[in-house]
Structure formats: C-alpha cells, structure tokens
Chains A and B, each alone.
Chain A
C-alpha cells in the first residue's frame, strides 16, 4: 500500500476577503500524506488566511478545498475538525483561565471516546504537561503553552496538523525543541502544514515549501531548491 504520494489536502484557486480587503487572490497548493509543507512569507502575505480558510473559519469567495478526496470547501470549522484537520493557532490559542487538562480535553471535544488513551499518549510525548495537568494554562511558560497547543491538536485524532507561526516569541533553544517535536510527529505519520517566519529552520525541517506574497503563491519547490534559490536567500535568509 503506497500511500506516501497520495495527496491529502488540495487547495485550488481560493479567494478570501475580509470586507473590502482581499487576503487571498487565487491560492493553490497541496500537501501529500506524510509531508511537512511550509508556507513562507512576510506578515500579511496570507499565511494565516490560508489556514483559516482551510479550517472553514472564514468563507472563501471562490475556489475549492479538498481533503482526502472529499470537497470540504466552506464547511464549518467544527465539521472540518471532525474530518481530521486541526489548527495550532498563532499565539498558541490556549484558554488561559482553564487548566491544562481542560485544554487538552477541548481538543477531543468532538470525540471523547478514547480520551484516556489519547491523554496517556500526549503525556508520554510531553511529560511536562503531565506534571502540570491541574495547573491553570495562563501560568505556563511560552514554550509550555506551545507544547500544550500541539498536544491539544493531537487529542483531536488529526491526520493533518496546521501549525501557524510556532516560533513567535520563543527562545531559539525552545524553537529547536518545538521543531524536533514536529519532526517526530511527522515521522509518526502526521502530515503538517507549517507557516513560519524563521525561513531557514523551517525549510531545513520541511519537504516542500510555498512562498507567498500579498495573497498569491509566487514560488514553490522542494525545500532544497528553495534553500538555494537566490531570491529566497536574498529576501529571507539575509544572504
């Protein structure tokens, strides 16, 4: 069974606007099963907008999103989560007034059946969360919150995880830890769509990448190709 090259997510010519502001102007991209795909681009290029339109937070004006060969365009977010996509939002998006375990269980909100087993699984991956399970999430450090957000995503039984700007506001050492975790998760079979401003680290981690500018894909290729692309080096890698 060769599922390695099967396309799990396909975004086709998606347009999205907030009021009069056009955030996406015909974006197309795809993620294959078992891949890490990175979205690269400046603030406002449309990275978060792509993730939010995939998740169905905002209704796109035009275009289709296909997940596992099913059209999921403009389904509501809770339905898309059930289908197996989960977003780890920028700024972690943990509920600061609730306990760690409450936050984790929220990840499994749509399906609490195997919650116990899933909890054991994420505690195994993140022992620190097990220690702090009854602590209020607002008291966690930035790195711990990011771990909590990723762990919460795993609680939902996803097949694809979207991680929006995980490195923002974290110390370099912790960013490396987070990236290591993402790599491990990918090895376990999760497909990952990552958006990142730390272009060098992200391309090192990922298989392929898309470069976005003002709501459009301007360049795409394997990570190796992008890493040696002169324009990328000039714009993002400071070389």
Chain B
C-alpha cells in the first residue's frame, strides 16, 4: 500500500510535466493551427542550453533557469515564421505539412544534440538544481517525496493555473479562444490572426522553458533521444484526450504519469516503459478521435 501511495505521488509529479508539455502543444494547435510534434524536442534543446549555461557559470541556478526559459521562447519565435509561411501560402492551413515541418526541425535538433553536446552522451544536471543531495522532502515509512517531485509538481500546478487564468481572464486569452473556435469569425471581428498566433508561440515558449526546468529537476538528466520519446508521448496524450482538448489533456497527462510510475514501482526493468506505450496504442486504436472529443 505504501509503495502504491508513493508511486501515485511520483506519478502525479511526472504527469505534471506531461501536462505542461501537452498544454503548450495544444495551445499551438488551437491558436497557431500547427501540429508541433517536435515541441518537446525544442524543450529538450532548452534543457541543454540551460545545462551549458550552468556549466559556464559554475552552476548558477538563477542564470541556468533563465537561460532555459529564454531559449525556449527564442526558439519558438525563430521557428514561427516558417510555420506562418506555410499557413499563408496555402490559404487554408494544411495542418499535415506543419507536422512534417515540425518533424524536420526535430530531426535537426536531435542530430545536433547527439553530435555536438557532450559527445552525444547523456548530460546530468548539478545537485544544487535538482536537490538530490538534500534527501527527501518528507518521508513517512516507505513514502518518500523528493524535493524534485515537490518542485516540479508545484511548478506544474502554478503554470497550468496561470495559463488557464490567461486564457479565461485576459484579452489575449479571449482572442486565443476566439481563434480556436472559429478562425474565420475571429478575423471578421478584427482579431489580428498572425500577431495573435505569434503571441501563442511566445506563451508556449514560456511553458516550454518552464517544462525544461521542471524536467531537469525531476529527472536530473537528459539525452538526445529524450525529445523523441517525450514528443511521442505528448502527441499520444493529446490524441487520446482529443486533439486540442485542453482540459482532457490535463486528465490524460496526469493519468499517463501515474501509469508509468505504477509500472515502474511494480515491474522494474527494460520492459516497463513499453507498457505505457502498449496502453497508449490500444487507446488510440480503440478511439482514434480521442476520449473527450477533438476541439479543432
């Protein structure tokens, strides 16, 4: 029972990372109308930037975190014109080609990381960022919660709440929702589509940067292949929930985290990771259009 509770808690903090990533992914899908499959790969690149800055500044946490967040925003803004070019050229958005473009970006980033940084070996984040050396945050019997769990969980909660606040309480959020519901109608009421799309890239960049820091704290390491795996899971979570369904993404993201943590708690080994994939595969095969309905 104690393992069960401990793994549920671990799972929720792991799930909070998926939620951050899925929410960013869905936001781009709804507002900028792109399937940014490689968004999590961009996040992993930001983790690497953060790691490099940590190395250069003698593990200055503040600068490392800032570097991670700023780089995620910058990468998003830099790649935005390419997506917008495709959108303008086609008149109607060809959402498939945005996905292929995103995969191209992912190929470049992943190969760059496996060639150039740390000779392609996994990188480890310093203890003063992850807090591994400080022991558990609290412990009752077998139930132990690490500082990393606590921090990434609270960051996930704060930023997802913040995002929903922006979506439902601010001018930009109102425009986001209007475009998500009806892009043509949003144009008629005078919302600048491209500019608002750009804002969504910037905001997703913030989410991406926060996710990068959060993953660094929780996992304590990164490798070039991490982005592909995360990208894969994030797209799967989004599809299982229903593409573009923000609230559905919250639920499925957390559930995936819990599932993975439980599997790891009871059947450790190289097989454990693929159990989550089998479950995801079955869910998609049974309901290719998602459980909570596509919001596109």
Contacts and interface: CB of A to CB of B under 8 A. Distances in A.
Q: Do chains A and B touch in the complex (CB under 8 A)?
A: yes
A77 B178 contact: no
Interface stretch (A39-47, A88-96, A169-177, A193-201): A88-96
Contacts of B181: 95-98
Contacts of A93: 182, 185, 188-189
B175 interface: yes
Interface in A69-111: 76-78, 80-82, 86-87, 89, 93, 95-98, 102, 105-107, 109-110
Contacts of B171: 105, 109, 112
A95 to B, nearest CB: 5
B162 interface: no
Interface size grouping (class) on chain B: 10 to 19
A107 B187 contact: no
Given A109-B171, A112-B171, A95 B178 contact: yes
Nearest to B172: A109
A118 interface: no
A139 B110 CA distance: 48
A57 interface: yes
A86 B188 CA distance: 8
Contacts of B185: 89, 93, 95
Nearest to B168: A102
Contacts of A78: 187, 190-193, 195
B181 to A, nearest CB: 5
B3 to A, nearest CB: 43
| A interface residue count range (under 10 / 10 to 19 / 20 to 34 / 35 or more) | 20 to 34
A31 interface: no
Contacts of A81: 189-190
Interface string B167-211: 000010011011001100111111111010000000000000000
Contacts of A98: 174, 177-178, 181
B177 A102 contact: yes
Contacts of B188: 55, 57, 77, 87, 89, 93
Nearest to A110: B190
5 contacts: A81-B189, A97-B181, A109-B171, A109-B190, A109-B191
Top 4 nearest A-B pairs by Cβ distance? A81-B190, A78-B192, A78-B190, A93-B185
